[in-house]
Structure 1
Amino acid sequence: MDADSATFGVEEEFLLADPRTGAPVPKNVEVAQTAAELGFDLQLELTRCQVETSTTVHTSATELRDELRDLRRGTASCAEKNDARLLAVAIPPTIPRQFPITDTPRYRRMSVDFGMLAHEQGLCGCHVHVGVPNREVALQVSNFLRPWLPLFLALTANSAIYRGTDTGYASWRSILWRRWPSAGPPPYFGSVRDYDAMVAMMLSSGSIFDEKMVYWDVRPSMSFPTVEIRVSDVPATVEETALLATLVRATVLMARKSLAQGRNAPPVTAEVLRAAYWKAARSGIDGDSVDPVDGRVRPAVEQLAKLVEHVEPALEELGDRTLVADSITAVLARGNGAIRQINAFRERGDVDDVIAELTAATLQGCQDRKPRIRWA
């Protein structure tokens, strides 16, 4: 795999909140319309309290980071024009009055078919796409990515406070999200035929009603020639999102090198992976983790160091080694979104402090450069 062809992009989901109370507000249609009038697209999510941004395709991590900054700044401006605040948070910290469903035929059907599961959403994630030549490669790469999914979750955890309460978890979104019958880590697939058979079974059982509802945390994209990694909470800052995307791309590159050398992904059982997921959601990046490959419990920062060592050849080839080292140092020193939420909440037990912390984090670094697009 040529590093120059290692394309990637990012989708980030955001919460729209009342600027006075921090409660979710159903204004995604209005915010998206304002964005359209200014010349850029926002996607509507399941609930009217959410919007999603999508970057263009990049080969440079720094250019990806710059576009993420532009998108956050522009979307925040559009939210402000509609008396809303943009929050990079994976679940609402306050007690929501409601999560009205976005009025599209597909989302209305989800409301009918899945009941309260759809109405209790308001969950915001981050999806990283990395270019691959075909679905077969996407599935084989997915097998290599499975053991690292809990670490990616721990690194970006950003949903510790929910409904005005310290959940005791770094990523409560991860716990809630896995209630969907098609969510969580995928099985280990030997072929496209096996994958298609599993999806056909889910369709026939009614656990999904179309292939877009295959919500596994790594999957072949339904829309692009990419492998899509969906495990992450939406990170609190652009720096964390860019770090996640850069590590994911390097991990995909290493997987493809292994495939080219005729090596298969390590077999990790669903039971071990489930335990590693729970530990990542519970403890986050500043606690212990379970290594899905050998079953050992070790500090999550040691598991992160293990990943960086594993992908170092790819980072060197891509020119991303310094960016990753600097970003990891900054995130561990400052704390990721979950740590920042917990610290803000525990000081006074006031969710307003959490909202203030998240507001600052959402646009942190986004004013450091002249925007490529004039948003107002």
Structure 2
Amino acid sequence: MTSHPTMGVEEEFLLIDPQHGEPIARNRQVAASAAAHGVDLQLELTSCQVETTTAVMDSSSALRSELTRLRGIATEAAAASGAQLLAAALPPTVPHKFPVTPTARYRRIAHRFGMIAHEQGICGCHVHVAVPDREAAIHVSNWLRPWLHVLLALTANSAIYRNTDSGYASFRSVLWSRWPSSGPPPYFDSAAQYDAAVAMLERAGAALDDGMIYWDVRPSANFPTVEVRVSDVPATVAETVLLATLIRAGVMTAMTAHDDGESAPRLADCQIRAAHWKAARDGLDGDGIDLLGDQSTVPVRELLDRFVDTVRPALVALGDYEMARGELGRVVAEGNGAIRQRRAWRRRGEIADVISELAATVVGD
């Protein structure tokens, strides 16, 4: 793939009560306020969430500016609507049930999936990268499978949940795995095989439509892109930019391998799922499974270094190598969202400290 592919990012955010810290059903009001400033916020399954969507971006620097702008407007719109915006993948404290946004489609989802839908107050980040066609998207998905758990560990941001430490760096990914069409995808030999699997899930009622195919990486249902969905919503703009930059470089590396006639490694689903679970549990400061080596456990930070080395030619071509190395070094040194959540929690065991930590980094780095 000779050209530099464009990219776009979707970020989901929580709306909480500024006084009590619990999720608050204000998504329609927040969206209306943001619209007055020219930003179209998307409504999510629960009415305690909103989503920002960037324009199509050509560079990491432009993406940083766009994410900062969108997060800033969404934060102001939330405040104007009596809510507080949090970049956290799970609310630290939760209601018994999350109210579902009253649209026809979301009502159908709630009816079919019951409590799974009503406990869906979780926030992820979706990175789109342009690819030539759906066959290319399938190849890229296969190539990324052994690296998805590393990206999850990097951006884990849901350690504190239900007023306690969940025992996981990304408990969002554990809750998310209850959907029958979620998690690491199978290895597919073609777009036709992918389509057959999607059709089976829809016939079985495990998904209403293509938009409910929630695998961690997939051909986009709406755009000519491959969509990587494995991540918690990162705590900071800088972490989101790093994630998107690494994914774009990964897509370019996968396409180069495809053009050279190289097949993606075919690993068993159980291996991929084990690595995914371990990344969710242990996060950035734990060990991960060396899926492309001897299947032993090694520090996640070592796996991240290997990924950057693997995609280095693409990062250099994009002019992003020094930035990516620098940002990765900073995240490793200072901690990601999960580490900062736990650091705040351990000070006094107070949810207010966790919320203050999260709120302070929504717009800043």
Superposed displacement of residue 326, structure 1: 1.3
Query: Could you tell me which amino acid in structure 2 is paired with residue 340 of structure 1?
Result: R
SS at match of 1:344: helix
Give identity over the alignment, percent: 57
Residue 187 of structure 1 corresponds to: 186
SS at match of 1:362: coil
SS at match of 2:214: coil
SS at match of 2:129: strand
Query: Could you tell me which amino acid in structure 1 is paired with residue 299 of structure 2?
Result: P
Query: Could you tell me which amino acid in structure 1 is paired with residue 121 of structure 2?
Result: G
Query: Could you tell me which amino acid in structure 2 is paired with residue 319 of structure 1?
Result: G
Contact 2:37 2:73 in 1 (8 A): no
SS at match of 2:18: coil
Residue 371 of structure 1 corresponds to: none
Q: Deviations over 1:263-304 (max 9, x none)?
A: 000111101111101110010011100122231210000000
Mapping 1:1-376, distance limit 5 Å: 1-3=1-3, 5-294=4-293, 295-365=295-365
Contact 2:142 2:188 in 1 (8 A): yes
SS at match of 2:125: strand
Superposed displacement of residue 96, structure 1: 2.2
Superposed displacement of residue 95, structure 1: 3.0
When the two structures are aligned, how many residues end up with a matched partner? 364
SS at match of 1:138: helix
Query: Could you tell me which amino acid in structure 1 is paired with residue 351 of structure 2?
Result: V
Superposed displacement of residue 113, structure 1: 0.4
Q: Deviations over 1:39-72 (max 9, x none)?
A: 1100000000000000011111011011000000
Superposed displacement of residue 323, structure 1: 1.0
Query: Could you tell me which amino acid in structure 2 is paired with residue 316 of structure 1?
Result: V
- C-alpha separation between the residues in 2 aligned to 1:100 and 1:38? 26
Q: Deviations over 1:173-218 (max 9, x none)?
A: 0000000000001100001111111111111111111111100000
SS at match of 1:229: strand
What is the CA RMSD across the aligned residues, in angstroms?
A: 0.8
Query: Could you tell me which amino acid in structure 2 is paired with residue 183 of structure 1?
Result: S
- Structure 1 gap ranges (5+): 366-376
- C-alpha separation between the residues in 2 aligned to 1:134 and 1:21? 48
- C-alpha separation between the residues in 1 aligned to 2:152 and 2:18? 28
- C-alpha separation between the residues in 2 aligned to 1:6 and 1:27? 36
Runs of at least 4 residues of structure 1 off by over 3 A?
Answer: none
- C-alpha separation between the residues in 1 aligned to 2:179 and 2:310? 32
Superposed displacement of residue 2, structure 1: 2.6
Superposed displacement of residue 234, structure 1: 0.1
Contact 2:14 2:49 in 1 (8 A): yes
Superposed displacement of residue 334, structure 1: 1.1
- C-alpha separation between the residues in 2 aligned to 1:32 and 1:348? 35
Query: Could you tell me which amino acid in structure 1 is paired with residue 102 of structure 2?
Result: D
Query: Could you tell me which amino acid in structure 2 is paired with residue 254 of structure 1?
Result: T
Query: Could you tell me which amino acid in structure 2 is paired with residue 89 of structure 1?
Result: A
Q: Deviations over 1:280-336 (max 9, x none)?
A: 001001110012223121000000000010011000000001110111111111110
- C-alpha separation between the residues in 2 aligned to 1:344 and 1:181? 34
Query: Could you tell me which amino acid in structure 1 is paired with residue 307 of structure 2?
Result: L
SS at match of 1:140: helix
- C-alpha separation between the residues in 1 aligned to 2:18 and 2:271? 42
Single out whichever of 286-295 and 24-33 deviates more from structure 2: 286-295
- C-alpha separation between the residues in 1 aligned to 2:346 and 2:278? 22
- C-alpha separation between the residues in 2 aligned to 1:89 and 1:286? 18
SS at match of 2:145: helix
SS at match of 1:100: coil
- C-alpha separation between the residues in 2 aligned to 1:97 and 1:167? 17
SS at match of 1:227: strand
- C-alpha separation between the residues in 2 aligned to 1:156 and 1:140? 24
TM-score by length of 2: 0.98
Query: Could you tell me which amino acid in structure 2 is paired with residue 272 of structure 1?
Result: Q
- C-alpha separation between the residues in 1 aligned to 2:188 and 2:202? 18
- C-alpha separation between the residues in 1 aligned to 2:37 and 2:234? 25
- Structure 2 gap ranges (5+): none
- C-alpha separation between the residues in 1 aligned to 2:208 and 2:308? 39
Contact 2:128 2:227 in 1 (8 A): yes
Superposed displacement of residue 97, structure 1: 4.8
Q: Deviations over 1:142-200 (max 9, x none)?
A: 00010010000000000000010101110000000000000001100001111111111
